[in-house]
Amino acid sequence: MSDHPPFKIDEEFCVGHGRCYALAPESFQPDEMGHGVVRDYRDGPATREPGVVVNACPESAIELITVGGDAEKGSQS
């Protein structure tokens, strides 16, 4: 198992749409302001479709951390 969470949220871009924790509550939770927070990866099962969650963020604030530790940002279309 990886020793880091599979996601990272850029707090500068997150405005609190809530799509991340609506789509993948096993990986994200809201903070007190409704902004997305990555859950501790040891809390539960991994998100089945991480790319879908990354691309669901309207602000491209979610990054998928690959095995080598690099981050891959979602793209807006």
Residue 8 near ligand SF4 by CB under 6 A: no
Residue 57 near ligand SF4 by CB under 6 A: yes
Look up tokens 């790319």; give the residue: 51
DSSP states of 5-66 as a string? -SEEE-TTT-----HHHHH-TTTEEE-TTS-EEEPPGGGSPPPS-HHHHHHH-TT--EEEEP
Output the smallest distance, CB 16 to ligand SF4, in A.
5
Identify the residue among 5, 16, 29, 73 touching ligand SF4 (CB under 6 A). Answer: 16
Site residues (vs ligand SF4, CB under 6 A): 9, 14-20, 35-36, 57, 59, 61-62
